[in-house]
Structure 1
């Protein structure tokens, strides 16, 4: 063995143990961390409020410290439950979030994976079973089939499978007895199902955390104002598609999403899990295994919901950032925060224990004094000269300016007076003269109808108004039956 290979292997091992998953399992307090996190966070309780988590961690710490001997006591961390949970957050084992305006803790993907490893190692059931070997062989066979592009060989395999199925169907129709599997074989199959199901939560958590990481990167780039907003959002969408298609966790999530999206398959899964609980081999399993088998469907739903929630939250945060993004204001806020931090550091170097800082309760008011109203002359400016009245010199194009003005109320009231006691407003507008069929005249006609009394119908009326320049515009409104004379007027 060469020294380079040994050194490379050692460097890979060092990098692996820097991973939060292995760091959680090989640390001094590893048994305590695994025990407490497995008690606080369960498949039915993936999120715990911060206050409840601190209370439960503190209670478990006090109880374990009371029951532990001197050797075991050194494996229990000191400090309050709040300090312990904050340390776990810094190490990447807990993820604080806001859900329904409540701050909660969730296990990170590294913590979920570490608990799964600890659970498998402590169960004492890890072994090479027929079901696991068969799962491996079937996966390899499916991989080989998908990689084989020869239609002749694929057709031969399908015909061989169909022949085997036809032979089994004919045998059952002929009355051949069904060979029931023994309980040991069924128990192996159930353990393989549980083994596969235990790996799903960590995969779902990794997908959710990758979405959160993308969210943080996008928000940081938007605030940095380094690239155009469109380029940043386009890259975010491409990365989101990459996560769901190009990673094992993303493919697991996509498959689970297709499963959850099929109601018939979900109902069939629930029925199958319920029937399995009634079989004799299920009685050989312990209570925890039976509960875990029954919760497989619920684990799938919770994992998919976790990822979808992360996607919705990321979209909401990024949308809010795009709408409110102001590079100038962000830079001002950053400068203000840096100045505050610099001032705090300077004050910490000069202050003594017990010193207090007087808070700024209001902003100072600028003393402006008296502002000069003129620049050169100290006397007030004189008023404007009066206007000269000379009507002969005024030219007024009444036609053009009047055409673009407001409604012609006089002409409209005269026109309405000749329509009878009741009339349809849309019909009346369509029959008006060309000078009173402008958009503003439609508003004037509606005002006159409202003033004299009108009744709104359920139908929709559509009229076409003509502007003074000859262009037209269509308007739709609720049908109106108007009166030519105000109600109550003799």
Structure 2
């Protein structure tokens, strides 16, 4: 049993140290991280432009190195200010965001908690005090009253409170309105307790905003999976978009707190109370840092409330817009495009320098048409094709010359027809009168028929029989309707 308890405790401790808050405080460069984040971010400056943050962190590193803090041991991280900030964003200490077109860094909830822990540990104020014990007792008393279900006991407690208030009022009235004021040390102790409680608020506000953003990402991711009918998805996600504040435990807790501090009049009243406290004599016992923290409480509360409300409106808008414009095919295309962009960035960033810039794509590329036909009725090409070249003398054959098995010898046939006597000739007789056996092949008979058709045919009912010689020495006889053609001077075929 002891081994099991020890193992469980160890596993809880290991899980706790994986939290970015303890990781920040337990890291090798924790003093550097805490000091830089404390200087860069404040109640008056909750966000910092990314470009300014890179420059400020780089200057901070250079100043510490020049002062000799990095000579003996590695107390400062390597790299430029941009590299350091990118690492902090990757491990969850800084959160990049875009506001009014400007890229900004803000502290994450874990970073705010780590800075609060470091501030309390370095301030030397972690002590048991009357103010803190009274706060604890009052909280327990309030919890007991809220959990009470017996009307008689609740009425008895309310009457006791009323009687105690009546006794105090009578004492002040009996002393002509005068009473013993609380000493300055006790007031200073109460102020320290107020500051202690106020340091918890920024991390709580950021944690609520981050929970809303995480819920928004979960909703969008589940919607893009497109695993359910569109009607069911629309009904559920529109409802969640309208009630986003009630979707997380942090959001529900903040809704209850918002009833106390959400009204601008309450913030104004809190500001007036803090200003009046700073004007009292005991405020001179406070350090300048304490007075600044006390003065900034109202502003921190107002900024935290505004950040949560902005996250709520942004999540509602994003979810509602995504549901109304949901297109699974387009979403997949966008996902593929983003993945290709991220892969390109991962390949480019390790090889890039701080001065490198990427030219943005301001418009999509268009097709460049070099020539467009203006009319579609003319099928002729815009230019006459170049004449063919005769490469007969350069022809090479593997075994034997096969050109004799080719088409008609038009040039020899046209010259032969042009030399015939008379105005007409019989095709069969003319073919039989060709002296060159190489021009009396079956293919040449077809070529002579084509030439006769060009010059004009004369109908005849007779039958002509001719004998053609093939390149291998064999002969073939052809019978066809007699063809009589006019003898015309034919142009040589190009």
Could you say if the C-alpha distance between residues 301 and 120 of structure 1 is closer, same or farther in structure 2, counting changes exceeding 3 Å?
A: same
Report matched runs for 1:300-311 at 5 Å: 300-311=301-312
Is 1:221–1:232's contact at 8 Å kept on the other side of the alignment?
no
Q: Alpha carbons of 1:345 and 1:38: their partners in 2 closer, same or farther (altered >3 Å)?
A: closer
The residue correspondences of 1:366-405 to structure 2 (distance < 5 A) are none
Give the Å deviation of 1:286: 0.3
The answer for the alignment partner of 2:158 in structure 1 is: 158
Q: TM-score, normalised by structure 1?
A: 0.67
**Paired position in structure 1 for 2:257:** 255
CA separation of 1:127 and 1:14: change in aligned 2, threshold 3 A = same
Partner of 1:54: 54
Aligned CA-pair RMSD: 3.2
d(CA) in 2 for partners of 1:167, 1:225: 68
Of the three residues 213, 236, 251, the one matched with 1:231 is 236
Aligned partners of 1:95 and 1:108 also within 8 Å: yes
Deviations 1:99-151 (A, max 9, x none): 01101001000000000000000001110010100100110111111111001
Corresponding residue for residue 329 of structure 1: 330
1:345 and 1:207, CA in 2 relative to 1: closer, same or farther beyond 3 A?
Answer: closer
CA distance in 2, matches of 1:344, 1:109: 28
Rounded to whole Å, the distance in 2 between the matches of 1:342 and 1:306 is: 32
Contact 1:197 1:296 in 2 (8 A): yes
Question: For the Cα contact (< 8 Å) 2:240–2:247, is it kept in 1?
Answer: no
Q: CA 1:277/1:61 → structure 2, altered by over 3 Å: closer, same or farther? A: same
* Inter-CA distance 110–250: structure 2 relative to 1 (3 Å threshold): farther
Contact 1:65 / 1:73 at 8 angstroms: preserved in 2?
no
SS of residue in 2 equivalent to 1:158: helix
Residues 417-450 of structure 1 deviation map (CA, whole Å, 9 limit, x = unaligned): xxxxxxxxxxxxxxxxxxxxxxxxxxxxxxxxxx
Give the 3 Å change call, closer, same or farther, for CA 257–98 of structure 1 in structure 2: farther
In the comparison of the two structures, how many residue pairs are matched?
358
Residue in 2 that maps onto 1:136: 136
2:87 is aligned with 1:82 = no
| CA positional deviation for 1:215 | 1.4
Q: Which residues of 2 match residues 354-373 of structure 1 at below 5 A?
A: none
- Structure-to-structure mapping, 1:234-313, within 5 angstroms: 234-237=239-242, 240-243=245-248, 246-247=249-250, 250-252=252-254, 254-256=256-258, 258-261=260-263, 263=265, 265-313=266-314
Q: Distance in 2 between matches of 1:343 and 1:102?
A: 23
The residue that corresponds to 1:420 in the other structure is none
After superposition, the Cα gap between the structure-2 partners of 1:344 and 1:151, relative to the gap in structure 1 and judged at 3 Å, is closer
Spell out the pairing of 1:410-489 with structure 2 (5 A cutoff).
Answer: none
By how many angstroms is 1:238 displaced? 5.2
**1:138-192: CA deviation from partner (whole Å, max 9, x where unpaired):** 1011111111100111100010110111111111111264111111111110000
Long gaps (5+) in structure 2: 348-360, 377-494
Residues 244, 316 of structure 2: 8 Å contact kept: no
Q: Secondary structure at the match of 1:95?
A: strand
d(CA) in 1 for partners of 2:333, 2:205? 39
TM-score, length-scaled by structure 2 = 0.66
- The answer to whether the aligner puts 1:16 opposite 2:21 as a matched pair is no
The whole-number CA distance in structure 2 between the counterparts of 1:90 and 1:4 is 35
Instruction: Work out whether residues 95 and 105 of structure 1, in 8 Å CA contact, stay in contact via their aligned partners in 2.
Output: yes
Say if 1:292 and 1:343 are closer, same or farther in 2 by CA, change over 3 A: closer
- Please list every run of 5 or more consecutive structure 1 residues that lacks an aligned counterpart in the other structure: 347-358, 373-490
The 3-state SS of whatever aligns with 2:55 is: helix
CA distance in 2, matches of 1:160, 1:5: 46
The answer on whether the counterparts of 2:94 and 2:111 sit within 8 Å (CA) in structure 1 is yes
